[in-house]
């Protein structure tokens, strides 16, 4: 079978740093993906929210093809005609004064950390080499050495030290704990408004607003990592908008390209992004014309198709439907917009395997959580069909063929 052949090639010649579901995707369109055997699946992960616009969106595809025929990479040794237009679009859409484009999310986070430290030394007057950056427990900001160095997940750190110093963790959702940890050397607090990889952890209402006030009071930069929560996923353009605040720095990525190309960016005020002088920071591919053309088209889709509003509406509908399911397996439900965590009483992997058999792709996070995050372009009809499958797996009828215990026995654990 072609799928088994491809899987064995990947296992033999590739590093085993992931434990994917054994579905080998060959093509995709909108909310649907197709495997090499011609089976189709409804995508309820959307590449961790990188394809909020749906797979292979025609408008983004068109922009990418048109730009790829003209010029793709200049490096920033020279200027290109797309970067200024993306910067202007980002300013007009988000209100932030300046932006610095990078490629991956982790790179944009690193960029924000560097900017925050330099701001701390040169603007706040923190002695050189003494800046402290606070982060949240159970954070996820990417996989570089400095970022995993302040992770509270031991697997992310194990074997990769030594790590840079100058980072300290505070509990997520506890503004008072943040206040107590701030010192005169604190230059920034880096936080996800809703923690995605931790299992879509929504903090208590008003948390971010309190955090913003504390940061302002102590002249500490508030950096919101909106790489997964941003660009429509939670029912607003950014998750911080639910708290009616404006952070000092925002980091975006993932859906910034609609899944076509790695594009990320740091957004901030002139005071913060102004700390960089020529030579301070850079990236060969960052701000390249292909990335900028793709990102402009991806942003336009989010606006033109009202994806934030769709997320709010469809998310409320989906959560309501899920809440009505009576299942012995479900411990709790939470989420915002079309970003919902189904927290189970037992490992989620067998349920994800059972859903795959029924044509729905989900991925477990943190063992017991199924994360539901379909493309925001998903139709009401497809969403309902996907929820039907989830219901069938979580609350099987007597005559159902789904047998979670059997699926569990067949699962090889990571
Ligand atoms: C995915 C993610 C990142 C890392 O992005 P990469 O493109 O994988 O480097 C950082 N922060 C958050 C919140 C994410 O979800």
225 catalytically annotated: yes
Mean pLDDT of the chain: 95
Catalytic member of 44, 172, 248, 254: 254
Residue 404: the pLDDT is 55
Number of domains observed in the structure of the chain: 2
CA dist 198 and 154 (Å) reads 13
Whether the Cβ atoms of residue 256 and residue 231 lie closer than 8 Å to each other: yes
Ligand 1: atom nearest CA of 143 is: 9
What CA–CA distance (Å, rounded) separates 87 from 72?
A: 17
- Domain match, 345 and 392 both: yes
Is 264 in a helix, a strand, or coil?
strand
Round to whole Å and give the CA distance between 117 and 275: 10
Does 276 participate in catalysis according to the annotation?
A: no
248-263 pLDDT per residue, tens: 999 999 999 999 999 9
319 and 212, same domain (yes or no)? no
SS3 351: helix
* 131 and 171 together in one domain: yes
Same domain, yes or no: 160 and 209: yes
Peptide bond into 162 cis (omega under 30): yes
User: Is 140 annotated in the active site?
Assistant: yes
User: Are 367 and 235 within one domain?
Assistant: no
Q: Give the separation between CA 386 and CA 44, rounded to whole angstroms.
A: 8
Mutate to test the pocket of ligand 1, among 140, 224, 239 (most ligand atoms within 8 A of CB): 140
201 C-alpha to ligand 1 centroid (Å): 16
111 and 257 housed in the same domain: yes
Structural domain of residue 18, as residue ranges?
Answer: 2-53+306-411
Query: Do residues 224 and 289 both lie within one domain?
Result: yes
Given the CA of residue 104, which atom of ligand 1 is nearest to it? 7
**Three-class secondary structure of residue 398 per DSSP:** coil
Note whether 253 and 265 are within 8 A (CB). yes
Do residues 300 and 310 both lie within one domain? Answer: no
Q: Would you write out the chain's pLDDT as a tens digit for each of its 414 residues?
A: 899 999 999 999 999 999 999 999 999 999 999 999 999 999 999 999 999 999 999 999 999 999 999 999 999 999 999 999 999 999 999 999 999 999 999 999 999 999 999 999 999 999 999 999 999 999 999 999 999 999 999 999 999 999 999 999 999 999 999 999 999 999 999 999 999 999 999 999 999 999 999 999 999 999 999 999 999 999 999 999 999 999 999 999 999 999 999 999 999 999 999 999 999 999 999 999 999 999 999 999 999 999 999 999 999 999 999 999 999 999 999 999 999 999 999 999 999 999 999 999 998 988 999 999 999 999 999 999 999 999 999 997 754 455 555 444 444 333
- In the reported structure, the alpha carbon of residue 106 is separated from the centroid of ligand 1 by a whole-number distance in angstroms of 6
| 135 alpha carbon – ligand 1 mean position (Å) | 15
Supply the CATH number for residue 372's domain: 3.90.1150.10
So what's the pLDDT on residue 402? 52
Task: Kindly list the distances between the CA atom of residue 137 and the CA atoms of 28, 140, 172, 216, in Å, as whole numbers in the listed order.
Answer: 36, 9, 6, 21
Please choose from 136, 139, 141, 247 the residue to mutate so as to test ligand 1's pocket, defined by most ligand atoms within 8 A of CB: 141
Non-local (6+) Cβ contacts of 220 within 8 A are 134, 182, 186, 187, 188, 189, 214
Last residue of a domain, one of 284, 304, 324: 304
Q: Are residues 89 and 173 in the same domain?
A: yes
Model confidence, pTM: 0.95
Catalytic residue among 225, 240, 276, 356: 225
């Amino acid at each position: 079978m072609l799928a088994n052949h491809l899987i064995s090639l990947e296992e033999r010649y590739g590093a085993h740093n992931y434990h994917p579901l054994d579905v080998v995707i060959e093509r995709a369109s909108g909310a649907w993906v197709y495997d090499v055997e011609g089976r189709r699946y409804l995508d309820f992960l959307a590449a961790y929210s990188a394809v909020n616009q749906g797979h292979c969106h025609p408008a983004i595809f068109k922009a990418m093809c048109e730009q790829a025929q003209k010029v793709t990479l200049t490096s920033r040794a020279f200027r290109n005609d797309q970067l200024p237009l993306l910067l202007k679009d980002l300013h007009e859409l988000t209100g932030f004064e300046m932006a610095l484009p990078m490629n991956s999310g982790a790179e944009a986070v690193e960029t924000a950390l560097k900017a925050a430290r330099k701001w701390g030394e040169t603007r706040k007057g923190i002695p050189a080499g003494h800046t402290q950056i606070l982060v949240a427990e159970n954070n996820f900001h990417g996989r570089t050495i400095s970022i995993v160095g302040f992770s509270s997940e031991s697997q992310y750190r194990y074997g990769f030290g030594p790590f840079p110093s100058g980072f300290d963790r505070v509990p997520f959702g506890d503004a008072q704990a943040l206040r107590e940890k701030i010192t005169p050397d604190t230059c920034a607090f880096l936080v996800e408004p809703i923690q995605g990889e931790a299992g879509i952890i929504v903090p208590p209402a008003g948390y971010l607003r309190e955090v913003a006030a504390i940061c302002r009071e102590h002249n500490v930069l508030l950096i919101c990592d909106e790489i997964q929560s941003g660009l429509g996923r939670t029912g607003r353009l950014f998750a911080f908008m639910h708290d009616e605040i404006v952070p000092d720095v925002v980091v975006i990525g993932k859906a910034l390209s609609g899944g076509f190309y790695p594009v990320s960016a740091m957004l901030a005020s002139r005071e913060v992004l102004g700390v960089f002088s020529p030579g301070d920071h850079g990236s060969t591919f960052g701000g390249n014309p292909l990335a900028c053309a793709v990102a402009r088209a991806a942003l336009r889709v989010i606006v033109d198709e009202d994806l934030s509003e769709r997320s709010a509406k469809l998310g409320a509908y989906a959560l309501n439907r899920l809440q009505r399911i009576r299942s012995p397996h479900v411990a709790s439900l939470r989420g915002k917009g079309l970003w919902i965590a189904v927290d189970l009483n037992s490992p989620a992997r067998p349920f994800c395997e059972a859903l795959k058999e029924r044509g729905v792709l989900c991925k477990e996070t943190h063992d017991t959580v199924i994360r539901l995050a379909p493309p925001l372009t998903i139709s009401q009809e497809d969403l309902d069909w996907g929820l039907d499958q989830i219901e069938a797996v979580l609350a099987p009828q007597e005559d159902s063929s789904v047998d979670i215990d059997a699926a569990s026995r067949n699962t090889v654990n990571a």
